[in-house]
Amino acid sequence: MSAKDIFHDKVKNALVKDGWTITADPYKLKWDEDENLYVDLAAEKILAAEKEGEKIAVEIKTFIGKSTMHDLHLAVGQFLVYQIALEEKEPDRSLFLAVPIEILKDIFLKPKAAKLGEKVNLKIIGFNIEKEVIEQWKM
């Protein structure tokens, strides 16, 4: 199991403030008989109007490495691996990548990254580091 991201608790707090209940920290996925994967968080939210629960898994990324492109490669690759494993275990749970709101704006909303996001069905949560709130959902 990998170490918690430096923004782990901030994202967790932001999700709780947004009405989500954290159901796993971390959320374990099975890749095969010998390998497990650990998504940072799992959360559920009861939708009062529909009386149905919405379930998500959230992988948190900081983008504070030496290269933005390297961080992008790692984040999207990890997202795709988790997405495949999640589809088998719990196809009704949506996977999200959580990044600081500045990263969402500076990287993922630019044309090429937006096109990449569309191709791989990348869902992103943009969170405010200081306020510990979710500012934008990109689906």
Domain ranges of the chain: 8-138
Residue 32: pLDDT band by 50, 70, 90 thresholds?
Answer: confident
At 33 the pLDDT is 84
Q: Read out DSSP for the chain?
A: -PPPPTTHHHHHHHHHHTT-EEEESSEEEE-SSS-EEEESEEEEEEETTTTEEEEEEEEE----SS-HHHHHHHHHHHHHHHHHHHHHH-TTEEEEEEEEHHHIIIIITSHHHHHHHHHHT--EEEEETTTTEEEEEE-
Fold classified for 8-138? Trna Endonuclease; Chain: A, domain 1 (3.40.1350)
pTM of the model: 0.89
Please, what is the average pLDDT of the chain? 89
| Both structure tokens of 2 | 């990998």
Greater model confidence, 3 or 95: 95
Residue 5 pLDDT exceeds 70: yes
